[in-house]
Structure 1
Amino acid sequence: MKLSYVNGKLIEAVYDTVPCFITERLILRPWHMEDVEDLFKYAKDPDIGLSAGWKPHKDVEESMEVIENVFMKPGVYAIVYKETNEVIGSIGLHAGSKKSRGLGSDENQAEIGYWIAKPYWGRGLIPEAAKELVDFGFLELGLNRIWIAYFDGNHKSKRVAEKLGFTYSHFAENVVVEALGETKKEHYMVLNKDEFDEAIKLKYRPLLAQRS
């Protein structure tokens, strides 16, 4: 991975020609197989996977399979904590129609999914990471709306969506969670492009007023 600095501050990261996202505390970059030890270290914790709809990883081999078959797909990023250069979670922007899940048939939409290691809960890191994908989706990909879904009882995921300006849309009963072999109630929150645009205007309105 190529890193670029200005005055000691990391301003750009490129991994295998794929641009990465840089925040105050994080780097979002594609997954690679060398991340397997970090992944297994945290994915074996049942408190992580069960709330997100997957079973704890039982061994390093399972973590390797997940990286190769799930995480190395386009739009999925490893969440790297700058201070330690450790992978502490995953986040993805999955574009395309969500009609099969009752989220509409508009192709210009996407869903953000994420998880983060338990020692890093409560630090605001997922909102920090997800904001980069929200901005990218609306400003670069031309999306009309972005969804965040969470299973009943996952209040942390709901709070992330609220911090990002998403509003509650609806829920679905008896959603099949294949990895767990059970069904769950799933809730859906949404952010539309016009709401995103209005939030941007509100953010810069005081600055524009000073210049007028």
Structure 2
Amino acid sequence: MTFVEELRRRAELSGAPLTRLGDGRDRYGPVAAILFTAGGYISVRRRSSGTNLVTVWDHRGELVAWGYAPGVDDVVNTLRAWQDDLPLRDLCSDVARYLQASGAQAATETLWSVLTNNDESFLHAIVTAAAANEILRALRPWVSHGTLHLLHAADSVHGVRRGLAFHPTGEATFRVHIYDGPTGPVEDATTAATTAAATAATW
């Protein structure tokens, strides 16, 4: 039985099926389960330790809460409440107390954790290099069409004023594109991260 099948079975036994639950991937890579609603979606990632990282995203794609579910039934209850359009505040305080509503800095670190723990070979080199750079680690990672973007942590995803992207040009080589600015030469991941950090340090 797959994880999604187990979640569905438990939900059906409780009398509240999960109608839009599936597996696949979200913006940051493969997920064990994902549930879409009009208000956003929830992704569940299974860790080797047996824990389940639950991340809650609003309709804009902003991370609004996350946490490690104590058990599978806690995941089911969280998904069911989100499917029933329970407000985020009530979800975190009443149904899924393991969830932490996000602040900008904590959300950024959670996103880096998600990225560095996912096995996305095409992102591995640049994620590793960027995550090791203190200046870049303070920026919010955002993945679009296989490209790692880093956004100023204070900017919303759809209102970015300061950001940059690492456009892949081959195996572990990239061009750094500064938003509203130039695109640099082809560089290896470590050099590209250093180039990006020099600009981000001025923001």
Is this a same-fold pair by TM over 0.5? no
The TM tier, using the shorter chain, reads under 0.3
TM, length-normalised to structure 2: 0.24
Higher relative contact order (CA 8 A, sep 6+): 1
